[in-house]
Structure 1
Amino acid sequence: MSPVQPVGVLFMAHGAAEDPADLAAFYAHIRHGRPPVPAVLEELRRRYAAIGGRSPLPALTQRLGERVAAALEARSPGGYRLAVGFLHTPPFIAQAAESLAGLPLVVGLALAPHYNRFAYEEGYRPAAEAALAGTGSRLHLIPGWGGDPGYVRWLADALRPLWAAAPSGSRVYFSAHSLPARYLAAGDPYPQQLAEGAAAVAAAAGLPAGSWDICYQSRGRTGEPWAGPDVLEILEQEAGRGTPQVILCPHGFVADHLEVLYDLDIEAHGRARALGLELVRTPMPNDDPAFAGALADLVAATAAV
């Protein structure tokens, strides 16, 4: 009898430039080989400089992957083999998938909690499927997990003390990366996934009805309409209403990176200060052991189906 083969775990993330010298290549890869416009590249360099010159995302993702792998090993010794890959920076998803090729089942976990066709069907799935084609491996890509009980619990635990300390009349906004409006017009399930995930966290954190909503952030520079309302517009709106404090919970992201450290912690906080509005945000899960345990549970449950 041949030995039982482990379940492959393809642990995927968008990627980010770890060194300022890598910025041009990183954004050219995002743009399918087209180099970024010089003015845009200079603005990106300025933003990266403002957060310390590099993104912590790749290292955080690697450490999180190691902790998920350890949690799976503790659950089932030898039962899983995990590899980390990125869409736009090395090690690429293809490299990670190739290291799992031949395993009967490969569970794909993208660190984008809420499913949208742009990220999943134009990014993660084709990259993984192309690398596994003809190898005998079956890919099971988890189709969004923003409502996963472990993830909801982690976010609610992070949000609850901020809400308890907030002045009366404060508001909570759950934020996620915007998408081109054409995807939403075509019926993309992203807004529904965001709303359902936010509702689950709000209920678990004990937020009163009417005290929270969702918004978008980090619109692309493509010249086309993007989904809103944008977080900066929300801050203007709440300042006009006399809201004493806004709590941001960026539930569409799982790690500190440019969209959090610059778009929220610098740009949004700067706008809030100018408006006389207090702004706080929940911490990111990053490589927290409890979050890693929740992802391990999700992978194991998926593999068992």
Structure 2
Amino acid sequence: MATAPGALVPAATCAAAQGPVHVSEPTGYDAILLAGFGGPEGQDDVIPFLRNVTAGRGIPDERLEDVAHHYRHFGGVSPINAQNRTLRAALVAELERRELDLPVYWGNRNWDPYLNDALREAHANGHTKLLAIATSAYSSYSSCRQYREDLADALEDSGLTEALQVDKVRQFFDHPGFVTPFVEGVRAGLAELRSRGVSNVEVLFATHSIPSVDAQRSGPAELSLGDGGAYAAEHAAVAEVVMSEVGATDTPWQLVYQSRSGPPSQPWLEPDINDAIAALPAAGRDAVLIVPLGFLSDHMEVLWDLDTEALETAEEHHLEAVRVPTPGSHPAFVAGLVDLVVERLEGARAADRPALTSLGPWPDICRPGCCENVRRGFRPAVAGLAP
């Protein structure tokens, strides 16, 4: 992928091209790119969508049907596209409120509208410097580097490598705008459970499981954050902040995982949320509060894995259960995303950037070797230093 002369970061603006940890030079972006995961919008879309998601892994359609029935249960429609339309509209309104003249384009990695289409539209409208917001808050291959690789692919496939510059906001797992909706949700959820007369509640902070080998390589290679890498460390740090902000540090909690999809022979992060729920009665619990800490909106893995399977498991074990909302288009979350844009517009110093854990503020430019996928190797990616 081409870069500006002397640049180390592909497709970057001049301020980001040399790969500073935090970009402290103001940058005149002329558009925002909301980068989503994508989802089917009808029964005929389900298998083609899942083929896109699993491309290169050789998974036959009959195995994809094991996941497809989750979507078919809801008419073949994932709510994620509608949620991103709502988020985009909220971002536009917040940008206008702050008198920031930045159009917001939206493109997906795995379904229409694709990133390629969004880049072509931005280019056709005369925009050349885009700042991307990925709809994922944490560090791992699937939640950060794969977005950056797909942005690089989209530039190449659309023939716009030489015409567009694309930077990306930092991972925002500990930004107050992302954390505040969970603080509010946990506070309300605990109050709801207490109103039902239960007294022994455990809080389960849920996120998507990933292969252990990917977790170990999540985040910059020079960090030593344990077997779960930056991915697990970030979630645990945010959970601690939430419990502290709620004033519930005496309430037991744990980080759990969901939505595992790999072969049984491949280790993935554990414990599974359903196993954790099943163990709660023996620990003296009579209620569970489920917090979808790894997710931005109520997409399929929240509706199925949590609202269907996890709540059924809680009922089977005679536990009262409440599931906390995701940030969605919560005003604090939307304002926080625009704050991340303003950081880059103004070139804010790291010391002036809000972060609620000791891990942040996370780098603007991903460090060399960050979030390696050992099965695929390093592929071209924007917004980071090679490899």
Give the TM-score normalised by structure 2: 0.72
1:70 is matched with which residue? 93
- Please say if 1:174 is aligned against 2:205: yes
Instruction: Check 1:185–1:298 CA distance in 2 against 1; reply closer, same or farther (3 A cut).
Output: closer
2: CA distance between counterparts of 1:261 and 1:295? Answer: 24
- Please say if 1:13 is aligned against 2:41: no
- 188-197 vs 291-300, greater mean Cα deviation: 291-300
Q: Secondary structure at the match of 2:215?
A: helix
The Cα of 1:198 is off from its aligned counterpart by: 1.6
The Cα of 1:294 is off from its aligned counterpart by: 2.6
Tell me which amino acid in the other structure corresponds to 1:39. E
Q: Secondary structure at the match of 1:189?
A: helix
Instruction: Kindly indicate whether the alpha-carbon contact (under 8 Å) linking 1:175 and 1:251 is maintained by their aligned counterparts in 2.
Output: yes
Q: Secondary structure at the match of 1:99?
A: helix
Q: Secondary structure at the match of 1:126?
A: helix
- 2:262 aligned residue (221, 224, 230): 221
Instruction: Kindly indicate whether the alpha-carbon contact (under 8 Å) linking 1:13 and 1:87 is maintained by their aligned counterparts in 2.
Output: yes
How far does the alpha carbon of each residue in 1:2-60 deviate from its partner, in whole angstroms, 9 at most, with x for none?
A: xx965321111211111111111111111226674343333333222333431111011
- Please say if 1:151 is aligned against 2:178: yes
Instruction: Check 1:222–1:10 CA distance in 2 against 1; reply closer, same or farther (3 A cut).
Output: farther
Which of the two has greater helix per residue?
1
Instruction: Kindly indicate whether the alpha-carbon contact (under 8 Å) linking 2:202 and 2:287 is maintained by their aligned counterparts in 1.
Output: yes
1:202 is matched with which residue? 243
2: CA distance between counterparts of 1:125 and 1:85? Answer: 13
- 2:116 aligned residue (77, 89, 94): 94
1:111 is matched with which residue? 135
For these two proteins, the number of residue pairs brought into alignment is 299
Tell me which amino acid in the other structure corresponds to 1:110. A
Tell me which amino acid in the other structure corresponds to 1:168. S
Q: Secondary structure at the match of 2:248?
A: coil
1: CA distance between counterparts of 2:325 and 2:335? Answer: 17
Tell me which amino acid in the other structure corresponds to 2:161. A
2:163 is matched with which residue? 135
2:292 is matched with which residue? 250
2:107 is matched with which residue? 85
Provide the alpha-carbon RMSD of the alignment: 2.2
1: CA distance between counterparts of 2:60 and 2:281? Answer: 35
2:379 is matched with which residue? none
Instruction: Check 1:116–1:186 CA distance in 2 against 1; reply closer, same or farther (3 A cut).
Output: closer
2: CA distance between counterparts of 1:185 and 1:18? Answer: 35
How far does the alpha carbon of each residue in 1:114-161 deviate from its partner, in whole angstroms, 9 at most, with x for none?
A: 12123321x211222341522252x32223111111111121112211
2: CA distance between counterparts of 1:204 and 1:51? Answer: 36
1: CA distance between counterparts of 2:152 and 2:274? Answer: 38
1: CA distance between counterparts of 2:323 and 2:275? Answer: 17
The Cα of 1:240 is off from its aligned counterpart by: 2.0
Tell me which amino acid in the other structure corresponds to 1:108. A
The Cα of 1:221 is off from its aligned counterpart by: 3.4
Unaligned runs of 5+ in 1: none
Instruction: Kindly indicate whether the alpha-carbon contact (under 8 Å) linking 2:47 and 2:61 is maintained by their aligned counterparts in 1.
Output: no
Relative CO higher for 1 or 2, CA cutoff 8 Å, sep ≥ 6?
Answer: 2
- Please say if 1:259 is aligned against 2:301: yes
1: CA distance between counterparts of 2:230 and 2:28? Answer: 35
Percentage of matched positions with identical amino acids: 27
Instruction: Kindly indicate whether the alpha-carbon contact (under 8 Å) linking 1:115 and 1:145 is maintained by their aligned counterparts in 2.
Output: no
Tell me which amino acid in the other structure corresponds to 2:192. A
2: CA distance between counterparts of 1:293 and 1:262? Answer: 29
